[in-house]
Structure formats: structure tokens, C-alpha cells
């Protein structure tokens, strides 16, 4: 990965982290209202209430509003997992102690799977950002 891509990734991750922190800050105590204390539940409420529509790009048949793609949801959760690790929240989330990474939890994994399945059932098809060429096209471009 080039330096420009690495910088872009860090900037995107930090921007998402600021969004999540701003959302958490609106929650009154005793709810966890910091990245350092967030649980999987807060991450998932943010994803469903803020991220899905706020980072929308896919309008599906039968839906009135565009929604985030499954890869966008997965990417955001990956960014959050890295942010939590940077805060020292490593390993699977433990509900009893509140320790570990909230994105490394059964709830978050099921959410990602379910979100993908719901969108696929609604007609979403993942597409490559860069069109793939056939082997014949590749050979032709090489003069073969």
C-alpha cells in the first residue's frame, strides 16, 4: 500500500472515529459515552441509526432511501476495530468486564452477516470498483 493510500485510510478511520465519538457523547450516563467505554450495542446503534443512511450509496428496488453497501459497513466496522485496538481494547469483547474490542463480538459479526444477507435479498450485487478485463482482452492489449 502506498503512502497516499495509507494516509487516506488513517484519515478515513479518524473521521469515522470522530463521528462515533460525537454520537456516543450524546448518550447520557450511565450509558457508555466514550470510545473507551463503548459496548457492541452502542456501535451497532450508531451503525444502524447514523452510518447506514449517512454513508449511503446504494438505492435498491423497493427502498425509498439509499443505504450503505455491505462492503462499506464492513469497512467502517474494520476501522472501528482498529481504533479500539489503538485505545488498548484488544481481544474479544467480554460483556461481564466490559473489556476487549466491541467490534470483536458475536453481535457485531452477526450484524455484518445479516446486513449483507438483507441487502442481497433486496437485490444488491457487489461490484468491483475497477472493471475486470477478460483474459482475451488482456492478451489483446499485450499484442497477443
Predicted TM-score (pTM) of the model is 0.82
Please report the pLDDT score of residue 4 as a whole number: 66
Would you state the cell numbers that stand for residue 121, as one nine-digit string?
435479498
133: pLDDT strictly greater than 70:
no
Would you state the cell numbers that stand for residue 68, as one nine-digit string?
450503505
User: What average pLDDT does this structure show over 111-136?
Assistant: 77
Q: Of all helices (H) and strands (E), which one includes residue 49?
A: none
pLDDT digit string, tens, across residues 7-45: 999 999 999 999 999 999 999 888 888 999 999 999 999
Amino acid at each position: 500500500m502506498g503512502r497516499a493510500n495509507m494516509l487516506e485510510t488513517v484519515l478515513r478511520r479518524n473521521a469515522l472515529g470522530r463521528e462515533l465519538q460525537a454520537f456516543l457523547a450524546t448518550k447520557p450516563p450511565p450509558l457508555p459515552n466514550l470510545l473507551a467505554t463503548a459496548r457492541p450495542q452502542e456501535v451497532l446503534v450508531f451503525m444502524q441509526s447514523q452510518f447506514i443512511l449517512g454513508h449511503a450509496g446504494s438505492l435498491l428496488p423497493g427502498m425509498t432511501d439509499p443505504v450503505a453497501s455491505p462492503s462499506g459497513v464492513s469497512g467502517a466496522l474494520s476501522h472501528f476495530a482498529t481504533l479500539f485496538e489503538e485505545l488498548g481494547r484488544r481481544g474479544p469483547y467480554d460483556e461481564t468486564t466490559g473489556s476487549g474490542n466491541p467490534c470483536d463480538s458475536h453481535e457485531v459479526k452477526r450484524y455484518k452477516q445479516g446486513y449483507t444477507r438483507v441487502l442481497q435479498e433486496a437485490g444488491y450485487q457487489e461490484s468491483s470498483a475497477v472493471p475486470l478485463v477478460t483474459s482475451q482482452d488482456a492478451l489483446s492489449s499485450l499484442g497477443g
